[in-house]
Amino acid sequence: MVDFVELNNDQRREKVNSDQRFIALKEAQRKAKSFRGSLVWHTVNSIDHLMRSYYDAAGVRHQKAEGRRSPTSEALKADWEAARASAQETLSARQEQMERQSAVNRALRLGRVPLIAARIIRAIDNAGLLGEGIRIAGTNAIYAYEAAAGVFVDPGITSTQDIDLLMDSRQSLRIMSGANVEDGALINLLRKVDRSFERSSATFRAVNRDGYLVDLSKPLANPAWKPSRETVGKADDELVAAEIAGLAWLENAPAFEAIAIDEKGGPLRLVVPDPRIFAAHKFWVSKRADREPIKRRRDLAQAQVVARLTMQYLEHLPYEASELRVLPRAVFDEAHHLFARPASRP
């Protein structure tokens, strides 16, 4: 029987507070970002014109004339500057509030996500890729499930020195220009987190000086000859996604989003595959003869934990075939017993 450590009353209260303050902070960041640019007077032939400088979704800077100086244009400029100042003031206040909340989270031992993993995930999120072409897969996805359930699982289940990034090769991926990442490359985004990251001899993997691994993978092409996206950017040493069997189920799974907390108490957004499909996939992997025995046993333990967690705490996600059509029928049936409720004692 799988045991979970449920959050106590203080932890539950502050987890709710942390989530709410994180959402408020993200809203303030979006509002402040909307004022990126300027409204300035530009003189042409002794006549003042109000010029708006702004950035489009691709990060390209544009300019637009708002008209000659007049009471209306002067009021427009004054209102815009006041709104920008207010947005920045709100952002600063919420950042300070989040710093205080993070200290509370640390004191209550709510932090779970390893700091290096959290920094990588935040970088991917800030670059506009998280949930938009890249999902967090593998062991680190479990932090999303336990955060949503309000429990802690056995640290031995989640302990890892790597992070698996699942790339959706079906869609266009582009790092937002505001991230200032050379060549729009994932390897360069990782170097903004830690300058020591280098691509290894296995071109799907980056490793830093401490031996922390970042693996980029994608589903097998279907049919095999069909071309599909392999990289995020164009750097000479960019990561090239490895094709792995079974990942199409995770790629096609409904996205599951949760707010987790890192080791220093800071919240972060996680976008991962649906936990039911994660558990079924892990169980399938644990049965593969070509898998190393020690990894197969860990895969089985993770499948059992996520299935039991989903059944006990995420009751809005029943294990039903109609909702899990991305799984082959045989894979769905083999994992069904993981979600069975134990027989009640007489």
**In degrees rounded to 5, what are phi and psi of residue 183?**
65, 10
* Residue carrying the six token digits 């399938």: 284
What is the structure's pLDDT at 224? Answer: 67
- Predicted confidence at residue 155, as pLDDT, reads 92
pLDDT of residue 2: 63
In a 13 Å sphere around the CA of 17, the CA atoms on its Cβ side amount to 19
What integer pLDDT is reported at residue 228 of this predicted model?
A: 77
- Position 59 scores a pLDDT of 66
pLDDT reported for residue 172: 79
User: What contacts 24+ positions apart, CB below 8 Å, involve 221-227?
Assistant: 221/169, 222/248
pLDDT in tens, the chain (346 residues): 567 999 999 999 999 999 999 999 999 999 998 888 888 999 988 999 999 988 776 667 888 888 899 999 999 999 999 999 999 999 999 999 999 999 999 999 999 999 999 999 999 999 999 999 999 999 999 999 999 999 999 999 998 899 999 999 887 788 876 777 888 899 999 999 999 999 999 999 999 999 999 999 999 887 666 777 899 999 999 999 999 999 999 999 999 999 999 999 999 999 999 999 999 999 999 999 999 999 999 999 999 999 999 999 999 999 998 889 999 999 999 999 999 886 655 4
Q: Cα(269)–Cα(25) distance, rounded to whole angstroms? A: 12
**Can you give the pLDDT at residue 170?**
82
Q: Taking Cα atoms as reference points, which of 62, 66, 60, 6 lies closest to residue 42?
A: 66
Q: Helix/strand/coil (H, E, C) string of the chain? A: CCCCEECCHHHHHHHHHHHHHHHHHHHHHHHHHCCCCEEEEEEECCEEEEEEEEECCCCCEEEEEEEECCHHHHHHHHHHHHHHHHHHHHHHHHHHHHHHHHHHHHHCCCCCECHHHHHHHHHHHHCCCECCCEEEEHHHHHHHHHHHHCEECCHHHHCCCEEEEEECCCCCCCCCHHHCCHHHCHHHHHHHHCCCCEECCCCCEEECCCCCEEEEEEECCCCCCCCCCCCCCCCCCCCCCEEECCHHHHHHCCEEEEEEEECCCCEEEEEEECHHHHHHHHHHHHCCCCCCHHHHHHHHHHHHHHHHHHHHHCCCCCCCHHHCCCCCHHHHHHHHHHHCCCCCCC
Distance (Å, whole) CA 48 – CA 135? 50
